[in-house]
Amino acid sequence: MIYFVDAKSEMRRFRLDGDPDGVVDLPGTGMVRAVFGESERREAFFVYASPIWSIAMMSKPDNSVLA
């Protein structure tokens, strides 16, 4: 899930059973614009933009789901 907190996005991870699994560290103040990936892979990608960074595609490989 993506939340907008204190003028920046906060990306939270959840396990497949719906239990919370932490927050994804983002590079600073900015906004997550899109999240995508394939259900059979354990890697997701997201598009991030901020006043400091131009729009960038990033990945967060781990064993959890970006929802």
Q: pTM of the entire structure?
A: 0.59
User: Alpha carbon of 36 to those of 7, 52, 66: distances in Å?
Assistant: 22, 23, 9
pLDDT digits (tens, 9 = 90+) for 23-47: 888 877 888 888 888 878 878 888 8
At 20 the pLDDT is: 93
Distance, in Å, from the CA atom of 66 to the CA atom of 39, rounded to the nearest integer, reads 10
Q: How confident is the model at residue 10 (pLDDT cuts 50, 70, 90)?
A: confident
